[in-house]
Amino acid sequence: MHRTVGKWVSFAFLIVVFSVLTTAAVAQSGGAHRWMNPSLSPDERASMVVKEMTIDEKITLLHGTGMAGLSPLSPLIIHSNGGAGYVPGIPRLGIPAIQMSDAAYGVRMSGENGRYSTALPSDVAGAASWDLEAGYEYGALIGRELRAQGYNMTLGGGINLTREPRNGRTFEYLGEDPILAGKMVGAVMKGLQAQHVIGDIKHYALNDQESGRNAVNVNIDKRSARESDLLAFEIGLEESDAAAVMCSYNRVNGDYSCENKYLLNEVLKKDWKFKGFVLSDWGGVHSAIKASAAGLDHEEPGWIFYGDDLKKDVESGRVPKSELDDHVHRILRAMFATGVVDDPPIKGVPDVMGGLEIAQKLSEQSIVLLKNEQALLPLDASKLHSIAIIGPHADVGMISGGGSAQVDPPGGNVIMPPGRGQTKWQDKVWFPTSPLKSVQAKAPAANVQFNSGADPASAAALAKSADVAIIFAYQWESEGMDLDSLSLPEHQDELIAQVAAANPRTIVVLENGGPVTMPWVDQANAIVEAWFAGSRGAEAVANILFGEVNPSGKLPLTFPKSEADLPHPSLVKPGPESIPDESRPEPWRQIAAGLAPFQVTYNEGVKVGYKWYDAENKPVLFPFGFGLSYTTYSYSNLKVTPGSRPQVTFTVTNSGSHAGAEVAEVYVSLPTAAQEPPKRLVGFSKVKLKAGESKEVSVEVDPKYLSIFNVAQNGWQLIPGEYGFMVGGSSQNLPLKASIALK
Ligand code: BGC
């Protein structure tokens, strides 16, 4: 009997344990809740959850939990995965936490967190590929590595146009054209969100310089804004359904971006029908009531305004409950729509080797050959006895872009003592990808010697004695600063001039994030734009130099001849009243309270990049869309078929002797009545061609790309008249022309 009772007791005990465990598991996964049914729409699911939530739970979703040095810290931050943002979930309702990480060209802070990230070539390099499939692969790799590290949201997706090329974040963005940048960020976000990671496009909007970014007031007319910087966001969102948009630090036409009703509610949410959520840049919020009414959904990194203040404002009716619910709905919807609820990240071993291969391939697709006199390139290893490798650290590494985009190089910063995997804010970080070794590997029989270039005379002497000299020149960029000028720093102009004078068989390889000036341009026989080239940059450069890969990148931004030709020859800097006083405790409080504004007026309007140089008839060093190849391409048979979405068809022929990939570009000049710059890019296609091969290319043009923004009607308008279509391989080499009338 005892034994029987004992059996029953243990059986009952097992049932209890089992049911406790399963209840816990269900609660954890949320499996029992109606909204866990993936066949319901993300909106239905979000609405069901909102109905169940308490006000405190709602407020929890509307802010982060702090970041050292920037805002108060919540005890909950111990659950953070180590990224820039952590939002606790609502376990009772099966809603997971949001773990956010910066991830512009790879996942940030992996060194600090003892993890591994692939560093891809910088974002601007991605744009230089003009290859949307490459963009997808770029985003997919970052998405996979975010998940492997336990994150479910990226903070990458920078898309501010290169309106001010001295902007220290130019490398993090996608160039000067809204259509190229918008399509490319769309491809990156598609690849990323396919991994069930919340995508984010930033910094909305017109955060086009870093100097005084927390105070500056950008003045711009609406039409220009809609046709330039905002159009890039519009296209990026149309192409990808990215679930989040980060509003920027600066003011636009008087209001901070994160409390700017025009930008957030009117344009983003109403005109573009954006269904995702708006999160602030870190410390970019300045109010609760105004920001909430303007359309800000989420404050990062803390809760200066979107914690107790917002709760009180809701309870007192100063913020309508419906507004609060809309913010919450948008965040939940983003989580359901991207799959972070149904398919949460599982930490795992990233595919390190696969990642490196992708990094190299993407770099090879993004390198731009700017000059190649006397067919100096590709090099023929069998004919080279001696090669001089010149330039700072070119024996060991290549430089990367800094700030919150910084990816920790596996292996550490190569110019620091071994073991330094972690990086500090605004360290110059050189990736362990050695130009010297990569070149030597391609020319094993040649005598390859290195000179740092610190003494230009000795570098020139080495170059003189060598069959060919390769200079690796750099210009470092980072968030939190702008460049003083577009010149190469550290006397590199002088170095290049002396080396090229000693040996005209000089190749300059540039490691940089945006345009540089080149007083030596006529002296060096070859110039290769490698950008910040990522974890396998040197291997990619060597493959280009020795012709194993035919260059196919094109410039996503113009290289002007000098700063004097820019729309703003000098950059407007803030006065001391517009910069937080770091000597006072908690400088973030000064930013939150509002620093004195200073004015930057973009009176060039829509004339960003090539549109400016075209309109002003200013010759440039290298034009937008330009890039050479080891083969030649010819264009023929242009046909433009009018219609609601005009079709542009033409033939591209590889008329040379190497296989390659040509970026075919389609530009349009609008009727005079539209009062637009001479031409705008409206489409492109990267075409792979064997030597001698021809392909017919067809580009469909979205009517919006042919339109102007009519402010009075608050909509896009096609101006009836003659549209001049131009097709070719660069914004200044467009051999095919055809006009059609559109109405
Ligand atoms: C940057 C953002 C970044 C955030 C979090 C800010 O200072 O402007 O781009 O995502 O910090 O690190």
What is the residue with the minimal CA distance to atom 2 of ligand 1?
281
CB burial string 321-359: b at 16+ within 10 A, e below: eebbbbbbbbbbbbbbbbbbbeebbeeeebeeeebbebb
What is the residue with the minimal CA distance to atom 7 of ligand 1?
282
198 contacts: CB under 8 Å, gap ≥ 6: 98, 152, 153, 154, 243, 244, 334, 335, 338, 340
Full-model pTM: 0.95
**Does residue 102's CB lie within 6 angstroms of at least one atom of ligand 1?**
yes
Those residues of the chain that have pLDDT short of 70 are: 1-31, 419-422
Per-residue CA distances from 563 to 208, 515, 709 (Å): 16, 10, 30
What's residue 409's pLDDT?
Answer: 86
**Does residue 84's CB lie within 6 angstroms of at least one atom of ligand 1?**
yes
Per-residue CA distances from 125 to 104, 138, 143, 326 (Å): 12, 11, 18, 38
Task: Evaluate whether 429 touches 399 at the Cβ level (below 8 Å).
Answer: yes
Structure tokens at 545: 């130099």
Taking each helix axis as running N to C, give the angle between helix 456-465 and helix 492-502, from 0 to 180 degrees, rounded to the nearest 10.
Answer: 30
What's residue 7's pLDDT?
Answer: 35
Long-range contacts of 714-718 (CB under 8 A, 24+ apart): 714/271, 718/742, 718/743
Q: Ligand 1 mean position to 404 CA, how many Å?
A: 6
Q: In whole angstroms, what is the distance from residue 107 CA to residue 101 CA?
A: 7
Cis peptide before 196 (omega within 30 of 0): no
Q: Ligand 1 mean position to 67 CA, how many Å?
A: 11
Q: Ligand 1 mean position to 699 CA, how many Å?
A: 36
What is the residue with the minimal CA distance to atom 3 of ligand 1?
404
For the residues of 549-609, what is the DSSP string, one character each? Answer: S------SS-EES-GGGSSSSSPPPPPGGGS--TTSS-HHHHHHH-PPP-EEE-TTTT--T
The position carrying tokens 């402010």 is 711
Structure tokens at 634: 């010819």
Structure tokens at 614: 């075209």
| Region of 127 on the Ramachandran plot (φ > 0 left; ψ -120 to 50 alpha; else beta) | alpha
Task: Evaluate whether 208 touches 304 at the Cβ level (below 8 Å).
Answer: no
Task: Evaluate whether 414 touches 437 at the Cβ level (below 8 Å).
Answer: no
281, 297, 408, 614: the catalytic one is 281
Q: Name the residue of 406, 479, 481, 482 whose CB sits within 8 Å of the most ligand 1 atoms, as the mutation to test its pocket.
A: 479
- Ligand 1 atom closest to the Cα of residue 301 is 5
Q: Is 162 helix (H, G, I), strand (E, B) or coil?
A: coil
What is the residue with the minimal CA distance to atom 8 of ligand 1?
281
SS3 content of the chain, % helix, strand, coil (to 5): 35, 20, 45
Q: Ligand 1 mean position to 281 CA, how many Å?
A: 6
Q: Is 645 helix (H, G, I), strand (E, B) or coil?
A: coil
Task: Evaluate whether 637 touches 649 at the Cβ level (below 8 Å).
Answer: yes
Q: Ligand 1 mean position to 249 CA, how many Å?
A: 10
**Does residue 282's CB lie within 6 angstroms of at least one atom of ligand 1?**
yes
Phi, psi angles (nearest 5°) of residue 580: -65, 140
Indicate the Cα dihedral angle 423, 428, 429, 432, nearest 10°. -140
Pick the closest to residue 406 from 421, 391, 389, 390 (CA basis): 421
Task: Evaluate whether 720 touches 622 at the Cβ level (below 8 Å).
Answer: no
Task: Evaluate whether 630 touches 660 at the Cβ level (below 8 Å).
Answer: yes
Q: In whole angstroms, what is the distance from residue 175 CA to residue 127 CA?
A: 7
What's residue 2's pLDDT?
Answer: 36
Q: Ligand 1 mean position to 244 CA, how many Å?
A: 14
Q: Ligand 1 mean position to 592 CA, how many Å?
A: 15
**Does residue 153's CB lie within 6 angstroms of at least one atom of ligand 1?**
no
Q: Name the residue of 170, 281, 298, 591 whose CB sits within 8 Å of the most ligand 1 atoms, as the mutation to test its pocket.
A: 281
Query: How many degrees, rounded to 5, is the angle at CA 429 between CA 426 and CA 432?
Result: 170
Task: Evaluate whether 230 touches 205 at the Cβ level (below 8 Å).
Answer: yes
501 contacts: CB under 8 Å, gap ≥ 6: 460, 523
What is the residue with the minimal CA distance to atom 6 of ligand 1?
282
State yes or no: is 565 an active-site residue: no
Q: In whole angstroms, what is the distance from residue 669 CA to residue 413 CA?
A: 48
Indicate the Cα dihedral angle 615, 619, 622, 623, nearest 10°. 20
User: Where are the strands (E) in 155-235, listed by range?
Assistant: 200-204, 217-219
For the chain, the first-to-last Cα distance in angstroms comes to 95
Q: Is 714 helix (H, G, I), strand (E, B) or coil?
A: coil
**Does residue 446's CB lie within 6 angstroms of at least one atom of ligand 1?**
no
Sheet of 255-256: strand order equals: 255-256, 251-252, 217-219, 599-601
Which run of H or of E encompasses 76? none
Q: In whole angstroms, what is the distance from residue 243 CA to residue 231 CA?
A: 17
Q: In whole angstroms, what is the distance from residue 469 CA to residue 450 CA?
A: 10
What's residue 1's pLDDT?
Answer: 30
**Does residue 173's CB lie within 6 angstroms of at least one atom of ligand 1?**
no
Structure tokens at 350: 């990233």
Give the Cβ contact number of residue 122 at 10 Å.
32
CB burial string 71-95: b at 16+ within 10 A, e below: bebbeebeebbbbbbbbbbbeebbb
Tell me the Cα Rg of the chain: 27
Q: In whole angstroms, what is the distance from residue 492 CA to residue 484 CA?
A: 15
Give the Cβ contact number of residue 141 at 10 Å.
25
Task: Evaluate whether 410 touches 400 at the Cβ level (below 8 Å).
Answer: no
- Ligand 1 atom closest to the Cα of residue 155 is 10
**Does residue 377's CB lie within 6 angstroms of at least one atom of ligand 1?**
no
Q: In whole angstroms, what is the distance from residue 458 CA to residue 445 CA?
A: 24
C-alpha dihedral sign at 636, 637, 640, 641: negative
Q: Ligand 1 mean position to 214 CA, how many Å?
A: 12
- Ligand 1 atom closest to the Cα of residue 207 is 8
Q: Name the residue of 169, 248, 278, 282 whose CB sits within 8 Å of the most ligand 1 atoms, as the mutation to test its pocket.
A: 282
Which run of H or of E encompasses 352? helix 352-366
Phi, psi angles (nearest 5°) of residue 352: -60, -50
**Does residue 404's CB lie within 6 angstroms of at least one atom of ligand 1?**
yes
Q: In whole angstroms, what is the distance from residue 39 CA to residue 339 CA?
A: 12
Return the half-sphere exposure (C-beta side, CA atoms, 13 A cut-off) of residue 29.
11
